[in-house]
Amino acid sequence: MTRTQTDLLVLGSGIAGLTFAIKAAGLFPDRQILVLTKTTEGESNTRYAQGGVAAVWDLQKDNFDKHIADTLDAGAGLCKKDIVRILVEEGPERVREMIGWGAHFDKEKDSNAYDLAREGGHSEHRILHFKDLTGWEMQRTLMEEADKYSNIKILEYCFALDLITQHHLGHMIIRVTPGIECYGCYALNKQNGEIEIILARATILCTGGAGQVYKSTTNPVIATGDGIAMAYRAKSRVENMEFMQFHPTSLYNPAGENPSFLVSEAVRGFGGILKTAEGAEFMQHYDPRLSLAPRDIVARAIDSEMKKRGTDCMYLDCRHLDQEAFLAHFPTIDEKCKSIGIDPMKDMIPIVPACHYTCGGVMVDEHGRTSIQRLYAAGECSSTGVHGANRLASNSLLEGLVFAHRVAHDLVGKLDAWGFQEGVPDWNAEGTTDPQEMVLITQGLKELREIMSYYVGIVRSNVRSKRALDRLFLLYQETEELYKTTTISPQLMELRNLITVAYLITRSASHRRESRGLHYTTDYPDQRPFVEHSVL
């Protein structure tokens, strides 16, 4: 079995992974940084981001306190205030760095000032964007910047399977065992089918979210919660997993597609209005901020209207907007709508909520340290405390930039003390054979996504959570049986990981006896007066 040693092992090449790699390459020019990514370097949630990156920019109108207040308000009492302050105050500097690395953001017509957009829950215009392709612009910039460092190596099609800890050296570990350490990971090289051991002084999880746990999601197929599941198996602390964010407006495509195409919140910020099929506005029944209320409120309103009317979608009306300006801001959305026969200037856009963002994740402190030593997490797989019970639009790219930077700086002075662990055994594939029927895995995945969508979606209840847990347990047992007897494949590992994530979401949801932010349950429709994080 191949054994590789690298000073720093980064799992994931989205905004968090590449920002960390670039920062670390600069801070530690004599250290090797290895970035694993399970498909191509450019494939990530990051590349699909549309609306933009939030940062206090126009100091005549905006200030840190306003951005902090908006973030706390969206987070429904569960954000960690000191961490939100770090995000907001350090954010603009990180965005300026991105601009220095070559990222383009749209400017106002005939002006050098950035064209700042507004999205749901923001009291000011503060979203820097590049048309409706901000994510790709940031991903491109980061890939080009990372390319400049000879001490960064990117390994594509390399799938991290499990984190290595004392457990692999034969020690008994439980979640409260003190001093658990991470020594790297086992990884499946998808190019040659071999499992490798990668040893590192420190490992940084940047594996993104888990939207694929639901039937309908804006997340690309790579978003299977691998990092969260690996960390949980390694006995790290995971928190607030019940807060899965549903974006109110994914494009309703009767043909069905995975991922669902996002119609950016920036379209509502630009003047798009949510309506019924008959063309009537309905958001006035739910929130005075109308179509620009925070996402949890808008998604629930749409869900409720759809259920009341028995319809498959609601609508976003853009027909009154300036055509030229709409096209300049949203060329990709316009093109996609037209590809399914909808002209946003003539037809209302059919929309439906879809799972979009994992607010909880691997619990970290303000430096990205997890509860396991030598293991850090940044980006969507982590839970910094910034998002609380509901993430504010466009705070995620910012979080990736700010906290990946902090992780890199936290490592200064630590690496020499963290040697390469000896005695790590080869991956144990005893008793496994090639799968006879891949359909067992694909069917398992379908069932899982159905269970989560029907029972642990936008509206929850005790009965639904119980049903979900019972069904998940059966699926878990069947999949573990497959895992013990079948040659490892990415599909099987993703199914296992998604089952773990589904369990974490459902268990946290069934423990929360209140409705808060993204977690709404008919059994406890009100918010409790005290605040509690769901730590597992």
State the catalytic residues. Answer: 295
Q: Which two tokens stand for residue 2?
A: 């191949």
Name the residue among 184, 152, 202 with its Cα closest to residue 3: 184
293 in contact with ligand SIN (CB under 6 A): no
Among 182, 202, 222, 502, binds ligand FAD (CB under 6 A): 222
Q: Which two tokens stand for residue 88?
A: 């907001």
Q: How far is the CB of 391 from ligand SIN (least distance, A)?
A: 7
CA angle 252, 505, 410 (to 5 degrees): 105
Q: CB under 6 A: which stretch of 214-222, 274-282, 325-333, 447-455 binds ligand FAD?
A: 214-222
What are the Cα distances from residue 119, in Å, to 54, 147, 272, 391, 444? Answer: 9, 33, 11, 12, 37
Residue 49 vs 372, nearer CB to ligand FAD: 49
Q: CB under 6 A: which stretch of 26-34, 202-210, 264-272, 398-406 binds ligand SIN?
A: 264-272
Residue 329 vs 471, nearer CB to ligand FAD: 329
What is the C-alpha to C-alpha distance for residues 227 and 236, in angstroms, rounded to an integer?
Answer: 11
Among 266, 299, 411, 518, binds ligand SIN (CB under 6 A): 266
Q: Which does 375 bind (CB under 5 to 8 A by kind): ligand SIN, ligand FAD, none?
A: none
DSSP of 287-345: -TTGGGS-HHHHHHHHHHHHHHHT-S-EEEE-TTS-HHHHHHH-HHHHHHHHHTT--TT
Residue 46 vs 203, nearer CB to ligand SIN: 46
With tokens 């005290």, the residue in question is 530
Name the residue among 205, 204, 97 with its Cα closest to residue 141: 97
Q: Which does 479 bind (CB under 5 to 8 A by kind): ligand SIN, ligand FAD, none?
A: none
Residue 85 vs 131, nearer CB to ligand FAD: 131
Q: CB under 6 A: which stretch of 64-72, 87-95, 206-214, 424-432 binds ligand FAD?
A: 206-214
Among 207, 370, 421, 479, binds ligand FAD (CB under 6 A): 207
Q: Is 123 left (phi over 0), alpha (psi -120 to 50) or beta?
A: alpha
β-pair type (238-239, 361-363): antiparallel
Residue 199 vs 359, nearer CB to ligand SIN: 359
Site pattern 351..380 for ligand FAD (x: CB under 6 A): ------x---------------------xx
Contacts to ligand SIN from residues 13-52, by CB under 6 A = 50-51
Site pattern 116..135 for ligand FAD (x: CB under 6 A): ------------------xx
Q: How far is the CB of 367 from ligand SIN (least distance, A)?
A: 24
Name the residue among 125, 185, 127, 123 with its Cα closest to residue 158: 185
Among 203, 383, 396, 508, binds ligand SIN (CB under 6 A): 396
Can you point out the beta strands (E) in 319-410? 349-358, 361-363, 375-377, 382-383
Question: What residues contact 79, with CB distance under 8 A and at least 6 apart?
Answer: 71, 72, 385, 386, 387, 388
3-state secondary structure of 270: coil
Q: CB under 6 A: which stretch of 2-10, 391-399, 408-416, 440-448 binds ligand SIN?
A: 391-399
Q: Which residue is nearest to ligand SIN (CB)?
A: 51
Question: What residues contact 19, with CB distance under 8 A and at least 6 apart?
Answer: 94, 142, 378, 400, 401, 404, 405
Name the residue among 2, 145, 72, 481 with its Cα closest to residue 294: 72
Among 141, 203, 218, 506, binds ligand FAD (CB under 6 A): 218
Burial class (CB in 10 A: 0-12, 13-18, 19+), 59: exposed
Among 21, 22, 34, 48, binds ligand FAD (CB under 6 A): 48
Residue 185 vs 351, nearer CB to ligand SIN: 351
6 in contact with ligand SIN (CB under 6 A): no
36 in contact with ligand FAD (CB under 6 A): yes
Q: Which does 521 bind (CB under 5 to 8 A by kind): ligand SIN, ligand FAD, none?
A: none
Among 103, 230, 372, 393, binds ligand SIN (CB under 6 A): 393
The answer to whether the CB of 139 falls within 8 A of the CB of 14 is yes
Q: CB under 6 A: which stretch of 217-225, 324-332, 412-420, 456-464 binds ligand FAD?
A: 217-225
CB count, 10 Å around CB of 5?
Answer: 16
Helix (H) or strand (E) holding 455: helix 439-455
334 in contact with ligand SIN (CB under 6 A): no
Q: Is 128 left (phi over 0), alpha (psi -120 to 50) or beta?
A: beta
Q: How far is the CB of 76 from ligand FAD (least distance, A)?
A: 19
**What residue ranges bind ligand FAD (CB under 6 A)?**
11-17, 36-39, 43-46, 48-53, 134-135, 159-160, 206-209, 218-219, 222-223, 226-227, 262, 357, 379-380, 394-397, 400
